[in-house]
Amino acid sequence: METSALLDPLLYRFRDLFGSQNFYLFCAYVWGVITCTGHRHTVSEIYQASLSDTRYWSFIKFLSRGVWDWQKVCGRLIWIVLAYLPNRLYIYDHTHTIKTGSEQFGLHFFKNHRYRKGNTNQSKFHWGHEFAALGVLGLTGVGALLFPVWVKLLEPGAVCALAAFESAIVLIPPGLIVFDRGFNNRKYFKALLEKGHHLICRARKNAAFYYKAPKKPKGKRGKQPIYGKRAHIQHWHYEALYVEALDKTFEVAHQIVRTKMCPQPVHLVVIRTRPKPYKPYRYFLAFTTDLNLGVETIVYYYDLRWKIETGFRDCKESFGFDHYQVRSETAIQRSVVLSFLSASLTQLLVLPQFQNEQPEGLPQVSQAVKEMNIHWYHPARWTLGLIIRYIRWRQIPQLLSTSFSKHKNSTLLQNTFTDVAG
């Protein structure tokens, strides 16, 4: 069975969102992104890896002028992924791409959040693009797997970021959304709560929390107060908590409190650590609007937030998320969406429930490793990296076939294969 046939059932679910020609280009482009073995996932290298019978400029026109809606594509991808994930979380975050040119749409300076004053060789600001991204984290039998499903190019300004967030949450059914502390914003929380979602978010160091206000005395004029006395977490009672999913023990305290960042009461969990006995305590604060979640679950769920950072890394390294060289807003937006889509569809191949649907799917992982002559690695199951390697390994004979040797780009393809083989 050809490896390209593995994705056919998934790609066909997008058929009604494209015309006949654009659907062919869509399938070819996605397959090119997955199988591209070059150093850069530019349109030319994606075109070469796709083995498409169309012209190169058809790929350019597909990104810039093709008649299709990227929002509908993301919405369809979300529902495809959710069908295989009964237990899931949503993770929302921003990411950046660094660019060196000046002709692309929307380029601006952004702050390097990993900047350290002691490193003199590190720039405090970078030139490039900023994106809002949404991922679905599936709690499956093979572990927690992240599926990047939605991404949007942002222009500078808080208004644009909030509008992007609102357009993302309307595409997903109500659930639990995990944020980093950079999204401590009442407007974000109010928007998602109105849509029926719950949140888990890390609190900033200077965040203020309050106890429930006592009931107003009978006969006293005015409204019932919302906020009582301020909560001082240093005085709370801390106990040891073992989180089985993380295999760690934490010193934890928790209470139901109020905060002006959120219109609803929240369950605040505080983790206290002390690196050395003579050092002061450090406090890690996370809160959720879902008051039914236990403390252990809250700690575990927020720890999973880091999955979106590794998801960004995989999309950039394996699917060319930040390799685009197109200039227009439409082409940039569609390029990154198709990068996310390629990553999610490839990740679906890992799921046992998807493999069971395919009469002729992937071989046993031990057999695949043996076919690729990898003798030092004995994985217990398929992983995203291993599937990518296997698909690209199966694609190499087609790239070097006699029929394709006459292709106008055969020289570039031979060079690409030389780099991979080396």
Q: What is the pTM of this model?
A: 0.88
Per-range mean pLDDT, top range of 47-56, 172-181, 274-283 = 172-181
- Of the listed ranges 36-40, 60-64, 225-229, 354-358, the least confidently predicted one is 354-358
Ordered by start, the domain boundaries in the chain are 3-68+362-421, 69-205+259-357
Lowest mean pLDDT among 91-95, 330-334, 400-404: 400-404
402 band by pLDDT with thresholds 50, 70 and 90: very low
Domain 69-205+259-357 has CATH 3.90.350: yes
* Residue range 261-291, pLDDT digits in tens: 898 999 999 999 988 888 999 999 999 999 9
Angle at 23 between CA 22 and CA 24, to 5 degrees: 90
Whole-number pLDDT of residue 401: 52
Mean of per-residue pLDDT scores for the chain: 87
Question: Which of 94, 90, 93 has the alpha carbon at shortest distance from 177?
Answer: 90
Average pLDDT over residues 3-9: 78
Phi, psi of 325 (to 5 degrees): -125, 10
- DSSP one-letter code for 216: P
SS3 393: helix
DSSP 304-360: GGGHHHHHHHHHHHHS-TT-----SHHHHHHHHHHHHHHHHHHHHTT-HHHHTT-TT
Backbone CA torsion sign across 80, 176, 332, 68: positive
